[in-house]
Amino acid sequence: MNANTSPANHFGSPSTTAPVLVSQLNASENEPEKEFDAYANQYEAALNEGLSVSGEAPEYFASKRIEWTSHVLADHGAVDSVLDFGCGVGIATPLIQSAFSPASICGFDPSTEAIKRAQTEFGGAGVQFTATSGGIAGRAFDLAYCNGVFHHIDPSDRAGALATVFDALKPGGWFAFWENNPWNPGTRYVMSKIPFDKDAVVISPVEARSLLASAGFEVARTDAWFLFPRSLGWLRPLEKLVHRLPLGAQYLVLAQKPWAAASPQVTR
The proportion of the chain whose per-residue pLDDT surpasses 70, expressed as a percent, equals 75
What is the reported pLDDT for 225? 96
pLDDT exceeds cutoff 50 at 218: yes
Report the pLDDT value the prediction gives residue 26, as an integer from 0 to 100: 31
Cα separation, 82 vs 104, in Å, equals: 6
Task: Identify how many contiguous H helices and E strands the chain contains and give both numbers.
Answer: 10, 7
**DSSP-derived secondary structure for 204-232:** -HHHHHHHHHHTT-EEEEEEEE--S-GGG
> What's the chain's length in residues?
268
pLDDT at 158 over 90: yes
Give the pLDDT confidence score for residue 194 in this predicted structure: 66
Backbone φ, ψ for residue 37 (5° rounding): -55, -40
The answer, as to whether pTM is greater than 0.85, is no
Domain 7-256 sits in CATH at 3.40.50.150
CB of 247 closer than 8 Å to CB of 182: no
Taking only the tens place, the pLDDT of each residue in 37-86 is: 444 455 555 555 555 567 777 788 899 999 999 999 999 999 999 999 99
Radius of gyration over every alpha carbon of the chain, rounded to an integer in angstroms: 17
Q: In the 8-state DSSP scheme, what is residue 157? A: G
99-117 burial, b at 16+ Cβ within 10 Å, e below that, comes to: bbebebbbbbbbbbbbbbb
Cα separation, 88 vs 81, in Å, equals 18
Residue 188 banded pLDDT, cuts 50, 70, 90:
confident
Instruction: Label residue 79 exposed, middle or buried (CB < 10 Å: 0-12, 13-18, 19+).
Output: buried
Average pLDDT on 229-247 reads 93
